[in-house]
Amino acid sequence: MSYTVTGYDKHCRLCQNPPRDEAKAMFVKDVTSDRVVIETPAKINLFLKVLNKRPDGYHNINSLMQAVSLFDRLTIRRTAEPGVRITQVAGDPVPSDSSNLIARAFARMASELALSGGLEVTLAKEIPASAGLGGGSSDAAATLLAVNLLYDCRLDRNQLATIGAEIGSDVPFFFSSGQVLATGKGEVIETVELPQEYWLLLVKPELAVSTAAAYAELKRPLTALGKPVKFRRYKTVRDLVCWLHQTVNDFEATRVGENPAMLQIRQWLDSLGASLVRMSGSGPTMYGLFTVNPERELPRRYNRKNWWIKVVSPVRILEL
C-alpha cells in the first residue's frame, strides 16, 4: 500500500457513517469518554538518503523506516478549558509550552476542525529527546489520534497523516504499518514488508542534535532527485542486511567523523558482533542490528555510564 497525504474534509466529524478505516489503533491502552492512554513508539532509519532542497525549504529524502519497541506513554484528557497543559513525569525534559509538538498537534486539529475545549497531557518519556528516534513526531501523532477519539472527529489515518505532515515530516509515519519506504520530505509513504526476527541495540552519547542544524551541516553536495531506491521484499534478515550494506545514512559521515564518542560507539557495536551498525535519523543515536539478543553480553561488555543504551526489536503500529 502506498499513499501521499493530501487533502481531507474538515467537516468529517459530522459524518453519520465514519470511514471504515477510521484510525483507532496505534498502541491505545485505555479509552473512556474523556481520557485516552496511548503508548507511541520510536522509529529508526534503516537507511537515509538526503536529496535536493525543495522550494519550500525542506529536502527530499529517501528512507526506509521501522518502528521499534521503545515507547512514550501519554495520558490525554479532554478539558473544557482551551489550550494544552503538559505535565512531564519521566524522561528527558522537553518544553511544555506551545513549541512542543503535542501542543502544535492539538492547535492544528482545533483550528482545522473548529474544536472547542482543550487537553491535559501527562507525558512519560522513554524515547530520548533530540536523538534521531522520532520521539517528538511520535508524541504529535499520538495527540492527533487522541483528539480524534476524544472529540469524535472520525478522521481516518490518511486524514490524520495529512494534518501530521503540516506539523513534522516524520509524523505521517506513525499512521502507517510501522514499516515504510518514505520519499518526498518524508510524507510520501509506501508500506513494505520487512523481516522482524532481529534485535537492535540503541546507543546514544550525551549529545543532542537539532534536525535543522544537521541539514545545515551536511558537507557533501546534495544530489538531484534521481531514481528512488529500488526495494523488494526481503524474506530473511540476512538478505535485508546484505542489501542495507549497499545503502547509507547521509548524516552519518559528518556526525561520526566529528564526534569521538560516536566513533567509539560504532567501534563498540562492531566489537559486539553487530551485523549492521548505523546512525538513526540525524543522530546522535547509533544502533547495532543483531540476529541474537545482545542483552546477555551487556553486563559483561558495557562499562560506559555516560551512554544511554536500550535493546529493542521491530514492531508494527497499524495493521493495514
Catalytic residues: 43, 170
- Residue with cell string 501523532: 141
Beta bridge partners of 95: none
Helix (H, G, I), strand (E, B) or coil at 206: coil
Beta bridge partners of 42: 68
Please, are residues 292 and 262 in contact by the beta-carbon 8 Å criterion?
no
Please, are residues 188 and 4 in contact by the beta-carbon 8 Å criterion?
yes
Rounded to whole angstroms, the Cα distance separating 89 from 255 reads 31
Q: φ, ψ for residue 72 (rounded to 5)?
A: -90, 145
- How many other C-beta atoms are found inside a 10 Å radius of the C-beta of residue 92? 16
Rounded to whole angstroms, the Cα distance separating 244 from 60 reads 20
On the 0-12 / 13-18 / 19+ scale of CB atoms within 10 A, 20 is exposed
Number of Cα atoms under 13 Å in the Cβ half of residue 29: 11
